[in-house]
Amino acid sequence: MTQGHAYPPPPPTSRRKLWIGLAAGALALAVCAGALVGVGLGLRGDDEEGAAPKAAAAANGVTVTDAELTALLDRHGKALAAKDLDGWLAAFDPAREDLVAAQTHLFRNLAKLPLSVARYETVEKQGRASDAFGQGVTFQLDVSFVHQFDGFDLAPVTEWYRWTIVRPAKDAPVRVTAVTGAPAAANGSSKTVYYPGPWDRWREIHVERTPHTLIIADSARAALAKRYAPTAEAAVAHDLAVWRAGGLPGPVPNGFVLALAKGKDEMGSLYRIGTGKATEAGFSLGMVAAERRDGKFTIGGTRVVVDTDERYFGRSGGRNDAGMVFRHELAHSLMTPRTNLTEVDAFDRLDEWVVEGFAEYVAFHGRPLGDSERTVAARRLLRGWNGKLPGNGDWNDPDLVSFHYWLGHTAMNHLAEKYGESKLFRFVDAVYAGTPTDRAARDVLGVSLDEFQAGWADYVRAQTR
């Protein structure tokens, strides 16, 4: 699995490999991040080892106190809020010209974003922050950039940086000499925690707004952002109409933050540094809220990234064009905030046919199954098909991933036609809440999963007649 709920490339004309599109691992990564955010994790370092080293350092050596670091981060956040570039740059070593230039660009990019919350908090300290012999100290400070897009995020979310902190002598100022992304858990699909954002990745960003979208692109591609803004807005209107017809209670995002990537290298280095090569056409990434709600971790918002080099984006007005990719990813973004992160083990077991089938169902809502370009190839594969829903292990076969998307799509179509669309939404919602799929079928549909599967298999085979 990889990060985010992803839309795979179009079905190939040959039997070349496809990348598997489900990425529930994004939330596993998010939980790893959220486990340390907003829970009051203290600074750790050698200055915490006892009274004697502290006394020696105070008299003879060099130290950076927790209070100084807290004040540094507080000033940094206030400078951003006040649009005070000089105050923002005060944290950084002026002798590091490349660093100062990079942070200047970052400041100007952040100033373009509608942030209702923007502050910096400590995550963890790595290394010695005190030296009793006056040799100076250098250590790493992992910093959480807590931020919220006004009108888009349900709650503040976070991005983690790693700052290198230096105090060369007892009375010298504390300076930041390097900035990069803080490392994520070793077993995740990203090497970093929501880093780099588009504001880090691109020297200058362009921000294009519609009533329900915030599109971020490299400034050199501003015209492209303007071109796709109406398509993205129409996709939101489509998905929200389908969602509201489903009748689920609870908050729904008023808008969505999207980024336009050019090619797979950019796709794999926005809000993540992927441990594998990106091959998807788009993904939706759940962002863990910076603070717990009622003692529980939740999703505060999502980020959608699409690769505009994909052939979907070279089509205009078709049934399988850029709008379909937007609709699919935004469908994930509607469901992801409803994930029960306390049931992360259950989430790991989420059936991909439910997650991806729902996104396909929403993307093609109101259209016949034949409008999906997967249908023609899928019908050929039905000969010899075992009549079963694809298990998560089945999705590891890259030659069949498009077929499995189609099977998930047909499962949702059948569910809606036989049991009603409101039950479809309730069923998918129950699965996201951590209910095992077989129990969700009994609770919501009133049948066992085997019974549902048997009826669905008949429905699928009827598609070939």
How far, in Å, CA of 108 to CA of 89, rounded? 12
Residues 6+ away with beta carbon under 8 Å from 104? 85, 89
How far, in Å, CA of 100 to CA of 95, rounded? 8
User: What is the CATH code of the structural domain delimited by 46-181?
Assistant: 3.10.450.50
Whole-prediction pTM value?
0.88
Cα radius of gyration (the chain): 24
Q: Phi, psi at residue 192, to the nearest 5°?
A: -130, 170
How far, in Å, CA of 225 to CA of 232, rounded? 10
Q: Which helix (H) or strand (E) holds 214?
A: strand 213-218
The pair of structure tokens assigned to 96 is: 């590091």
pLDDT in tens, the chain (465 residues): 333 555 444 433 222 222 222 233 444 444 444 443 332 333 334 444 556 555 655 567 899 999 999 999 999 999 999 999 999 999 999 999 999 999 999 999 999 999 999 999 999 999 999 989 888 999 999 999 999 999 999 999 999 999 999 999 998 999 999 999 999 987 778 999 999 999 999 999 999 999 999 999 999 999 999 999 999 999 999 999 999 999 898 888 889 999 999 999 999 999 999 888 887 899 999 999 999 888 888 999 999 999 999 999 988 767 789 999 999 999 999 999 998 887 755 445 689 999 999 999 999 999 999 999 999 999 999 988 999 999 998 888 888 999 999 999 999 999 999 999 999 999 999 999 989 999 999 999 999 999 999 999 999 998 776
For the chain, the domains span 46-181, 349-465
Sign of the dihedral defined by the CA atoms of residues 228, 231, 237, 238, in that order: negative
Residues 6+ away with beta carbon under 8 Å from 249? none
CB-neighbour burial class of residue 249 (10 A; exposed 0-12, middle 13-18, buried 19+): exposed
Collapsing DSSP to helix, strand or coil, 106 comes out as helix
CB-neighbour burial class of residue 254 (10 A; exposed 0-12, middle 13-18, buried 19+): middle
